């Protein structure tokens, strides 16, 4: 086989520093669009983005040459800079992130989940949501360091 074929979808979740409610609805859609541009520059594809004031969810089609850690680093650094310079707001992301592989067969489900974040968080905190994801994916964690 002389070609490379991949379909690597990743659901990425991270919060603002100390889960401060810094993502204002006045600029959230522009932030998600900006993040989509960062992904495109890395030959990745933004499939969905959403969240609430203290965290975001991204569904990204990952290019096979891009490490998830590099993608998240670039998204955080560049979007934070953009928020400082263009939106004129003090802003910081948390240090860590969570990333989960997503089979193509459940991409529509994950898109719908991301689109309904406000509704979802009327009943569940970010911490409860993150713990549920970690446990569903059998990821060990220490509650001391869970939220950065």
Residue 34 maps to which CATH number? 3.30.70.1290
Is the Cβ–Cβ distance between 77 and 65 less than 8 Å?
no
Q: Is 93 part of a structural domain of the chain?
A: yes
Which residue segment(s) compose the domain that 116 sits in? 8-145
* Cα–Cα distance measured from residue 20 to residue 54, given in angstroms and rounded to the nearest whole number: 6
Q: What is the pLDDT of residues 89-135, one digit of tens each?
A: 889 999 999 999 999 999 999 999 999 999 999 999 999 999 999 99
Task: Write down the pTM of the prediction.
Answer: 0.94
pLDDT of residue 81: 96
pLDDT at 141 over 70: yes
Q: Is 3 part of a structural domain of the chain?
A: no
The secondary structure of 7-53 as a DSSP string is -EEEEEEEEBGGG-----TTTHHHHHHHHHHHHHHTT-EEEEEEEET
The secondary structure of 51-84 as a DSSP string is EETTEEEEEEEE-TT--HHHHHHHHHHHHHHHII
Q: Is 51 part of a structural domain of the chain?
A: yes
Q: Count other Cβ atoms within 10 Å, centred on residue 115.
A: 14
pLDDT at 12 over 60: yes
Q: What is the pLDDT of residues 42-85, one digit of tens each?
A: 999 999 999 999 999 999 999 999 999 999 999 999 999 999 99
Q: Considering its fold, how many domains does the chain have in total?
A: 1
pLDDT at 147 over 80: no
């Amino acid at each position: 086989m002389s070609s490379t074929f991949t379909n690597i979808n990743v659901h990425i979740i991270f919060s603002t520093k100390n889960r401060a409610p810094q993502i204002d609805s006045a600029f959230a859609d522009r932030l998600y669009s900006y993040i989509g541009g960062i992904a495109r520059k890395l030959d990745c594809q933004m499939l969905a983005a959403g969240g609430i004031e203290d965290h975001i969810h991204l569904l990204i089609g990952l290019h096979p040459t891009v490490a998830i850690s590099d993608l998240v680093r670039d998204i955080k650094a560049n979007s934070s800079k953009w928020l400082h310079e263009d939106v004129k707001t003090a802003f910081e992301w948390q240090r860590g992130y969570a990333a989960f592989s997503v089979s193509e067969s459940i991409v529509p489900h994950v898109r719908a989940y991301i689109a309904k974040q406000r509704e979802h968080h009327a009943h569940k905190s970010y911490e409860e949501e993150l713990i549920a994801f970690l446990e569903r994916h059998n990821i060990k964690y220490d509650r001391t360091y869970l939220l950065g």
